[in-house]
Chains A and B, each alone.
Chain A
Amino acid sequence: SQQGEEDPQALSIQEGENATMNCSYKTSINNLQWYRQNSGRGLVHLILIRSNEREKHSGRLRVTLDTSKKSSSLLITASRAADTASYFCATDAGGSYIPTFGRGTSLIVHP
């Protein structure tokens, strides 16, 4: 079963705009990660946020975590055509630390 579910399924924006995608999950988690996958390639790790953290930044990426709402958001500021990819959240719970991936958000950034 997939723990995290991303929303929206697809997002289309113009270069320079901000892109926001969300991830909701059902049970309490230890950590939440965001990954990017370009077409035909493997996943690339973007950022990890632990359950006791509320916000993390990495370059143009900003991730928030609201454990009371069981949700996270990924914000990409000043998007570029190269940001076109699928974005997945992955959560782990219990003692296994094995991440479970959602179905992903497909982001298209038009130049």
Chain B
Amino acid sequence: EAGVAQSPRYKIIEKRQSVAFWCNPISGHATLYWYQQILGQGPKLLIQFQNNGVVDDSQLPKDRFSAERLKGVDSTLKIQPAKLEDSAVYLCASSLGPGIQPQHFGDGTRLSIL
């Protein structure tokens, strides 16, 4: 089966600019996650979708981050405006459903803020 696809792989922007990341999960996976992974740390969950509804966004900085999953398939994560501390790898993962399921990760987007 095809894995989780993410684009772009790398992005460099200046602070206060905006940026968007795209994720296409594994076909048939109802649950989609966005994580932020800062260098040297483990992934931190930003938002979880079940189909096109939000399950958990308690750690999403909503003043600058937004995410959507229209039609319950692809998802986009946006940052506007970006801050220096947003430099990180943004990982998308999907799983068959909610509950405890193995998550399948994409290779992420490495974001650098200048």
Contacts and interface: CB of A to CB of B under 8 A. Distances in A.
A88 B42 CA distance: 7
Interface in B95-114: 98-100, 102-108
Given A97-B98, A102-B42, A104-B42, A43 B103 contact: yes
A54 interface: no
Contacts, number: 49
Contacts of A90: 42
Contacts of B93: 42-43
A44 B3 CA distance: 11
Contacts of B45: 98, 100
A42, A43, A96 interface centre (most CB from chain B within 10 Å): A42
A94 to B, nearest CB: 12
Contacts of A48: 100, 102
